[in-house]
Amino acid sequence: MRISSKFCLLIVVLLPACQLQAPPPEPPAADSPGLPDMRTIPREEPAVEEIPSNLQRLIADLLFSGLQALDDDRLLEPRFDNAYEYFYEVLQLQPDNEIALEGMQGIVERYLELALDAANRGNFINADRLLGRAETIDASHPGIAPARESLDAERNSGDLFFPLEERALRRQDSAIRATLAGIAEQARESDAFVLITAPDDELARWIYSAMRESVAGYRLRGNIEISGVTLIRLRMPDS
């Protein structure tokens, strides 16, 4: 779960606002000869602006829903049930709400993470779309320019990307072995570094083993990453 200590701050929102009370008037001084009768006038304290309790509850509910949506990656979708709309509603009611402002920044940062992840898989169209969403929310965010540079660098790297179907890989039949052999041959011809991503270590190691067997005698250099996608990336040597 990515829900942070912001939940602790919600407790503050739920607590009723403190009310300042005027101090009780001082008791009248005892009668003294030669002194006039003195009475203490109560001092008026400045009024404290309170947030109505029903508005407090509404803001707390919206913040809770927004943080849950952010944690579930419901960033701009679905309509009426996404992190952006929840935080936006809070800011309409309370423009300086710290949790909502940080939540908006959290949405941008999550889109940047997703964009770079898509670029690493060679899915540049989706990476551009995700980066565009981050810019829509906050074009001045300091992470957008570096993310754009990283995306352009990946796009111009010349690396080859091969998305694979997990079910076919788990069958380990001759068709998928032939596909892996073809990728391994391209790696040998270009002396590329092989980056294998797969949902679990066992599947990733089988992919590497099948590729290595198909180019016997060649030292296939590579690495394995565990990820929700199944992909082979051939990193081309620097020219």
What pLDDT is stored for residue 138 in this prediction? 95
Q: Tell me the CA distances in angstroms from 225 to 59, 162, 172, 196, 219, one per residue in order.
A: 41, 15, 20, 6, 19
pLDDT tops 50 at residue 171: yes
Q: Would you state the pLDDT for residue 238?
A: 77
Q: What is the mean pLDDT of residues 22-29?
A: 46
What pLDDT is stored for residue 234 in this prediction?
96
DSSP at 156:
T
pLDDT band at 61 (very low <50, low <70, confident <90, very high): very high
- Helices then strands, each counted (H, E), the chain: 9, 4
Q: What is the pLDDT of residues 87-101, one digit of tens each?
A: 999 999 999 999 999
Put the strands of the sheet holding 222-226 in their side by side order: 160-163, 231-235, 193-198, 222-226
3-state secondary structure of 225: strand
